[in-house]
Amino acid sequence: MMRIGLDVGGTNTDAALLDGTRVVAAVKTPTTADATTGICNALAALVERAGPETRSARAVVIGTTHFVNAVVERERLNRVAAVRLCLPASSSIPPFIDWPDDLRNEVRADVHLLPGGYEVDGREIAPFDKAAMEDVARRIADSGVPAAAISGVFSPLRSDHERAAAEIMERLCPQVRVSLSSDLGRTGLLERENVALLNASLFELARTTITAFRAAIAQSGLAAELFLTQNDGTVMPAELAEQAPVLCFSSGPTNSMRGAALLSGRSDGMVIDVGGTTSDIGMLVNGFPREANGVVEVGGVRTLFRMPDILCLGLGGGTRIRTDPFRLGPDSVGYRLTSDARVFGGRQLTATDMAVAAGRARIGDAVGVADIGGALLSAFDGTVRSMLEDGIESMKTRAGDLPVIAVGGGAFLIPEDLAGVSEVVFVEHHDVANAVGAAMAQICGEVDRVFTDMTREAALAAATEEARDRAVAAGACAQSLKTVDVEDLPLAYMPGGARRLRVRVAGELADA
C-alpha cells in the first residue's frame, strides 16, 4: 500500500513515498510562508521523482511544527477564556498563574471559577451550578473570544461537570470553540488545565493550517485521506487533529525517531536528528521515542500529557561559526544556508562549511573554505564532540555504550567515533527520516472506561482486547500491535471494585 509522509518544518518540507516499508522516493523542498504552496511544491517534486503512481497513495500523513512553534514564538494564537469547575476548592492558584508573562498577555481572556468538580471518591465538591454557567457562557459570548477551555477538579475521574458546561457553551455560544481538560490531560489540575488552555489557543491556527493542508492535497490531484502525526508516533485523522492540536506538538522529533528506526532496522538506541538550526537527541525504545517523565514545559508552560523525551542542542548545518575567538552558534543562518554559506558562495561561515573543509561532507564548492586552517577545524571538532557526547550521556538511563542513529540533513556533522557510543549508524534517506517516520506512523486503538466486578487482571485483559479490536478496525495489523500505555485509577466510591482503565495499543497499518 502506498503512503506519503510529509514533514513540514520551519526550514524544509520533506516528502517521502513509501510502498509498505520500502522508500520509493523522497524529496526535500523549502518551506513557504503559506503552507499550501510548500506542500504543493513538495508533492509536485515527489510526483516528478516517483511518477504518476504517487497519486495512487491512499494516505497522506503530515507531521508539523506549526502548532508548537506558535506557542514558542507567541504568534498566531487566539485568546482563550478559562472556566474552572472547582469552588469552594482550588481557588488560591487560578488559571494562567504560572505562565510566562508574554504568553499570558497573548492568550488570557476572562477567567471564571464556578462551583463543581469532584472529590477523589467521586462525590461532587459542590453541585454543578447551571444558572451560573449559563451566565458565564453569555459573558464569554459577549466578550467575543473565539475559544474557551473548561477544567474541573478530578475530571479524569468524572467528566460529567465539564461536559455539562460544554453543552451549555454549545447551546448559548456555539461560535466559541471549547477544549475540555478531561479529553487531553492527566491527573494534576493545573497542568491538565494548561494543556486545555494551550489547545484552545491554537484552534484558529489549527483550522487554517489543516484547511491549507487539504487544499494542497486536492490541488496536487491526490484523493488520499489526510492524517496528522501525534506526539507518541501514531496518527490521527485531520478532523481529530483540528480539535486537539496540542497532540501534534512534538511530532517532528517523534517522526525522525520513528523514521530512524525504520531506515536502520533497529528498535533501540540513541537517535540524533541534525537539522538546520538544532539537533534533537532522543532515546529509541522498542521502536518508539521514550516518553517524557511527568511534566513537560512547552513555551514555558507546565503540561502533563503524552510527550516524547527530547533534548534539543544548538547545533545544525546552518549554525554560525565565529573565528576570533572561536565560537559555535547559537544562531543559525537557517533557510538561507544555500545562499549565505561559504560553500554556496556566501560570506557566512557555518557548521556545514567546517564539515566540507574537514572533508567530512561534499556540499557546494570547497573553494569557498580553502582558507580554513587546522587549528580552527580542531576547535570545531572538539566543541561538536563535547556537545554531542554530553547530550548523549545525559539522555542515557544507564552506563554503557549505545548505538547512535544519525539522521537529518546535517547528519554529516556527527563524528563516527564518539565516546560512550558503540557505533554511529548512517542510513540511506537519513535527510528525510522525519517524512519516512510520518509515513510509517502507526495506527492506535484506545480504551478509556470504567470496569466493574472484575479482578484487575481480568479488567486489564478486557481493556487490552477492546483496544486491539479498535486498532484493527482503524486499519492496524493485529500481529504488529503492542501496548504503549496503561493507566489504572481505582474508583473507591463505586461498588464492585470499580476501576477506570486507559489502555493504548499501536501497530503498523495493515496491507489493504
Where does this chain bind another protein (CB under 8 A)?
86, 88-93, 97-98, 117, 119-121, 123, 125, 153-154, 187-190, 290-291, 293-295, 302, 309, 390, 394-395, 397-398, 456, 485-490, 492
Sign of the torsion formed by the C-alpha atoms of 343, 347, 352 and 353: positive
Find the helix or strand (DSSP H, E) in which 23 lies: strand 22-30
As measured in angstroms, the least distance from the Cβ of 398 to another protein is 4
Give the nearer residue to another protein in terms of CB position, either 108 or 430.
108
As measured in angstroms, the least distance from the Cβ of 156 to another protein is 9
Give the nearer residue to another protein in terms of CB position, either 134 or 485.
485
Cα 436 to Cα 440: distance, rounded to the nearest angstrom: 6
Give the nearer residue to another protein in terms of CB position, either 148 or 501.
501
At residue 277, what are phi and psi to the nearest 5 degrees? -115, -35
The distance in angstroms from the start CA to the end CA of the chain is 7
Cα 232 to Cα 291: distance, rounded to the nearest angstrom: 8
Give the nearer residue to another protein in terms of CB position, either 149 or 216.
149
Q: Which three cell numbers stand for residue 512?
A: 489493504
Q: Which three cell numbers stand for residue 148?
A: 474557551
Q: Give bridge partners of residue 404 from the DSSP assignment.
A: 270, 424
As measured in angstroms, the least distance from the Cβ of 328 to another protein is 19
As measured in angstroms, the least distance from the Cβ of 128 to another protein is 16
As measured in angstroms, the least distance from the Cβ of 135 to another protein is 23
Give the nearer residue to another protein in terms of CB position, either 257 or 435.
257
Any residues with CB less than 8 A from the CB of 178 and at least 6 apart, and which?
A: 147, 148, 149, 150, 166, 169, 170, 200
Give the nearer residue to another protein in terms of CB position, either 190 or 224.
190
As measured in angstroms, the least distance from the Cβ of 287 to another protein is 14
Cα 308 to Cα 282: distance, rounded to the nearest angstrom: 8
Q: How far is CA 300 from CA 61, 96, 103, 163, in A?
A: 29, 11, 9, 29
As measured in angstroms, the least distance from the Cβ of 493 to another protein is 9
Strand order in the sheet with 108-115: 108-115, 80-87, 147-152, 177-180
At residue 456, what are phi and psi to the nearest 5 degrees? -60, -40
Q: Which three cell numbers stand for residue 5?
A: 509522509
As measured in angstroms, the least distance from the Cβ of 229 to another protein is 20
Cα 334 to Cα 354: distance, rounded to the nearest angstrom: 16
Give the nearer residue to another protein in terms of CB position, either 315 or 395.
395
Give the nearer residue to another protein in terms of CB position, either 231 or 352.
231
As measured in angstroms, the least distance from the Cβ of 153 to another protein is 5
Q: Give bridge partners of residue 448 from the DSSP assignment.
A: 502
| Cis peptide preceding 325, ω within 30 of 0 | yes
Give the nearer residue to another protein in terms of CB position, either 159 or 277.
159
Give the nearer residue to another protein in terms of CB position, either 19 or 291.
291
DSSP string covering 112-172: EEEE--B-TTS-BSS---HHHHHHHHHHHHHHT-SEEEEEETTTTT--HHHHHHHHHHHHH
Cα 4 to Cα 499: distance, rounded to the nearest angstrom: 40
Q: Give bridge partners of residue 394 from the DSSP assignment.
A: none
As measured in angstroms, the least distance from the Cβ of 290 to another protein is 8
Give the nearer residue to another protein in terms of CB position, either 117 or 276.
117
**Helical segments of 366-432, H only:** 374-395
As measured in angstroms, the least distance from the Cβ of 385 to another protein is 17
As measured in angstroms, the least distance from the Cβ of 175 to another protein is 31
Give the nearer residue to another protein in terms of CB position, either 79 or 186.
186
Q: How far is CA 401 from CA 317, 421, 422, in A?
A: 26, 5, 5
